[in-house]
Structure 1
Amino acid sequence: MTTPSKSLPFFVYGTLRPGESNHDLFLRGRTESEERGRLHGAALYDGPGYPYAVEAPGSVIVGELVTARPEAYPQLLRELDRLEDYAPGDPANLYERVERQVTRDTDGTAVRAWVYLAAPTVTARLRTHGKLIEGGDWLNRR
């Protein structure tokens, strides 16, 4: 289990992206930077109004790498965990918050970041019955 006290940036790929429904609610005024990035080894599935990321070798998800302001970080982490229905060790989680390497689009450098991936039971259902978002970009799903 990764240590929640690590102040890592977040990789967001759905409703927390700029222009989407949760961006202003959770991130406006609380970030130092937001830059385009890619999560390799994961695929994006359509959910009920929001996406799920699932580990998938050879696939890529497009999103933003969000660095929170240090003073906003602890509260933001708690709020994002709640938004994503994540509690450490809870078998009923919809998502698991995991540490992954994300590549910045600007310069190709790799950064460790928190990513909310679909929990194992959700992942199994998506792989069997889910709708894959081709190209891994939530903003281009339609």
Structure 2
Amino acid sequence: MITEKPEEPEEPGTPLPFFVYGTLRPGEPNHDLFLRDRTASEEPARLRGAALYDGPGYPYAVEHPGAEIHGELVTARPESYPGLLAALDRLEEYTPGDPRNLYERAARPVTRADGTTTLAWVYLAAPPVAARLRTTGTPIESGDWLARR
């Protein structure tokens, strides 16, 4: 359950990269639709403290101590950032403060392949969804959406 206030960038309004773990990953259906020509870089990364659950055609990340999710750290091109942030919020049906959200956008530390960490936006299952998944959901044991098949 998301009970703490998300971490914030040192400077308010500073664009953060995005940690993507499902349909926005390379080779998945939403990657080209949303990220093509809008990113400066994409690199492998891990989100610690979250588990992955299977959803209806897309995954959910649920906070879970000791678990880890594999994905990509996506840095938007500066001129694309505002539009990309809005597009991803729409894709994830996220509206700040809306109790009907399926996901909540939260800033979390993400670990790059070289071991360094950076703060990134992550779409986590909203509290009611997370509670349901913990009880009756299907975990993706590997923590990797691409390896689920």
TM-score > 0.5 by shorter chain: yes
Once the two structures are superposed, residues 39-87 of structure 1 have per-residue CA deviations (whole angstroms, 9 ceiling, x without a partner) of 0000000000000000000000000000000000000000000000100
In the alignment, the residues of structure 1 paired with residue 40 and residue 92 of structure 2 have an alpha-carbon distance, to the nearest angstrom, of: 22
Once the two structures are superposed, residues 98-128 of structure 1 have per-residue CA deviations (whole angstroms, 9 ceiling, x without a partner) of 00000001x1000000000000000010000
**Aligned position for 1:56:** 64
**Aligned position for 2:73:** 65
**Aligned position for 1:137:** 144
In the alignment of these two chains, the number of paired residues is 141
**Aligned position for 2:105:** 97
Superposition RMSD on alpha carbons, in Å? 1.2
Instruction: List alignment gaps of at least 5 residues for structure 2.
Output: none
Amino acid at match of 1:128: T
Aligned pair partner of 1:112 in 110, 119, 139? 119
Amino acid at match of 2:79: E
Tell me whether 1:45 sits opposite 2:66 in the alignment: no
Instruction: List alignment gaps of at least 5 residues for structure 1.
Output: none
Give the TM-score normalised by the residue count of structure 2: 0.92
Tell me whether 1:14 sits opposite 2:22 in the alignment: yes
In the alignment, the residues of structure 2 paired with residue 88 and residue 6 of structure 1 have an alpha-carbon distance, to the nearest angstrom, of: 18
Tell me whether 1:86 sits opposite 2:94 in the alignment: yes
Shift of 1:5: 3.1
**Aligned position for 1:125:** 132
Give the TM-score normalised by the residue count of structure 1: 0.96
Secondary structure at 2:78 match in 1? coil
Amino acid at match of 2:119: R
Shift of 1:135: 1.1
In the alignment, the residues of structure 2 paired with residue 26 and residue 34 of structure 1 have an alpha-carbon distance, to the nearest angstrom, of: 13
In the alignment, the residues of structure 2 paired with residue 71 and residue 129 of structure 1 have an alpha-carbon distance, to the nearest angstrom, of: 42
